[in-house]
Amino acid sequence: MMMKYPIPDQEQYFYYKNKYTKKINPPQKNIYNIATQIRKQKINKYNRLRRNLPYIEHIYLCDSISFNAADEWSDIDLFFIVKHGCIRRARLLSVIICSILGIKRSLQKKSGLFDLIFYVDEKHTDIQDIALQPEDIYLTYRLAHLIPLYQHKPYNIYTDNTRIQKTLPNFPMEHVTTWETKKWSEWFKNVWEIVLWSKPDNFWEYIIKSIRKPLVIRKKKRHKESWRGIAIGDHMLKFHKDKRMEIQQKRESRLQTNETEGSSDK
């Protein structure tokens, strides 16, 4: 079921808005590089694990592999939507499980390992709420390239992120492949959710937040000093370096260069 999502072609719906065209060519057959193929095998190997991560409602592949830009050093970036009010338990348990299995990326090891980079509460999935102003091109493209790996129930994340069409007017606002897993295959998840109680805002969420607070403060300060922040709150957890400002500045610089070259040609 993996990798059937057509990676957008420049000639299709990923035109920037000032190059809008109503004519959308049919998607071409994807040709994945060797690094992506290797990581695809790893992703498929842990299909059952994805179905059993507690409090996880949906899992998406994102970033380098979904862009078909993986190289030999690339990790496997994952984006999670979790049960309402359970975001810290979801992250803690998924990190523990993947660490025990030796498949979670660390500072020392990265290549081919899973990077659990983004957690969002199911009732707050409009991630463009954190978009840079006036336009966050990196966040938009990242969202548009999400590839569903696991879905607990039929769901389209783009229904909550309609502003994506302001930047990508030809974007179809849907995933090509979505599916629902069978309940009997999620016994491990169900057991853990009973043990840790699924009621939102319970004791465990408070304990995890309190224990991690000093670490998060240090990390935010460190990233701020390097001009890269982290997005963290009661409805979103993203602990890795935020490159959006860097990408935004590069894009604006390139647009200015193109405008200058266009003026000189005239």
pLDDT per position as a tens digit, 5-32: 445 444 444 444 444 444 444 444 455 6
Q: What is the pLDDT of residues 124-182, one digit of tens each?
A: 999 877 776 666 777 888 888 898 999 888 889 999 998 888 878 778 888 765 545 56
Q: What is the pLDDT of residues 220-240, one digit of tens each?
A: 676 665 545 566 777 888 755
* Rounded-to-10 torsion of CA 140, 223, 103, 42: 30
Q: What is the pLDDT of residues 82-110, one digit of tens each?
A: 999 999 999 999 999 999 999 999 878 88
CATH superfamily of 17-265: Beta Polymerase, domain 2 (3.30.460.10)
Segment 63-86 mean pLDDT: 88
> Can you count the helices (H) and strands (E) in the chain?
8, 6
Model pLDDT, residue 65: 83
Q: How far is CA 138 from CA 29, 35, 85, 242, in A?
A: 25, 23, 28, 10
Looking at every residue in the chain, the average pLDDT score rounds to 76
Assess contact for 94 and 53: CB atoms under 8 A.
Answer: yes
Q: Where are the domains of the chain?
A: 17-265
> Residue 179 burial (CB < 10 Å; 0-12/13-18/19+)?
exposed
Assess contact for 140 and 167: CB atoms under 8 A.
Answer: yes
Q: Which residue has the higher pLDDT, 66 or 94?
A: 94
The enclosing H or E element of 213 equals helix 203-225
Model pLDDT, residue 91: 92
Model pLDDT, residue 92: 92
Q: Residue 146: CB partners within 8 Å, gap ≥ 6? A: 60, 61, 62, 66, 79, 157, 175
Model pLDDT, residue 99: 94
